[in-house]
Amino acid sequence: MSMNSKRHLLTVAILGGLISMLMSGCDRQPNAVIQTARPSTESFVNVGDYEMHFNAVRSDQLTADIARAYGIERSKNKVLLNISVLNHANKNTVSTDANITVLARNLNNQVKDVPLRRITEGSAIYYIGDADISGTETLVFEINALPAGSSNTITAKLTREFFAN
């Protein structure tokens, strides 16, 4: 296996691990009501040599250790957005920097502020940001990313309903 293939697998493993950790809230009450699963929408977009991955979860679903490590407030009234951009040029898949903007709105067309922070772990680069919600709310995230060295913007729309427990 080539070094580039190993790097690609490592990047995918890191992203998968991060998403898994973000989703693994271990402090859930034993009698908590479990929400019915909803059909998932796409969580990535391919444009040319680039691939953008994105996901959003309520921040109280993070473990206390993960939230503390990344300076994230755990709350049922906060949503965490996670975005990463990969470059597939020359058959090498590498995490890449990007200029990313996010516009988030609820169904009442109220705009939510989502300031992003750049996070690096080894060769992985991703961006996280949070937005406030009030109880059960649906948010529509309009994501635009301009990868470093590219003139093509990647656009995506992510719609998620977040439930108050």
The three state secondary structure string of the chain is CCHHHHHHHHHHHHHHHHHHHHHCCCCCCCCCCCCCCCCCCCCEEEECCEEEEEEEEEHHHCCHHHHHHHCCCCCCCEEEEEEEEEECHHHCCEECCEEEEEEEEECCCCEECCCEEEEEECCEEEEEEEEECCCCEEEEEEEEEEECCCCCCEEEEEEEEECCC
Does the pTM surpass 0.85? The reply is no
Per domain, the residue ranges of the chain are 3-25+40-162
Q: What are phi and psi of 129, to 5 degrees?
A: -155, 160
Q: Strands 78-87, 111-112: parallel, antiparallel or unpaired by DSSP?
A: unpaired
Residue 3 neighbours by CB distance under 10 Å: 8
pLDDT confidence band for 8 (50 / 70 / 90): very low
38 against 151, higher pLDDT: 151
pLDDT at residue 17 greater than cutoff 80: no
* CATH architecture of the domain formed by 3-25+40-162: Sandwich (2.60)
Does 66 score more than 80 pLDDT?
A: yes
Q: Which whole number is the average pLDDT over 6-30?
A: 47
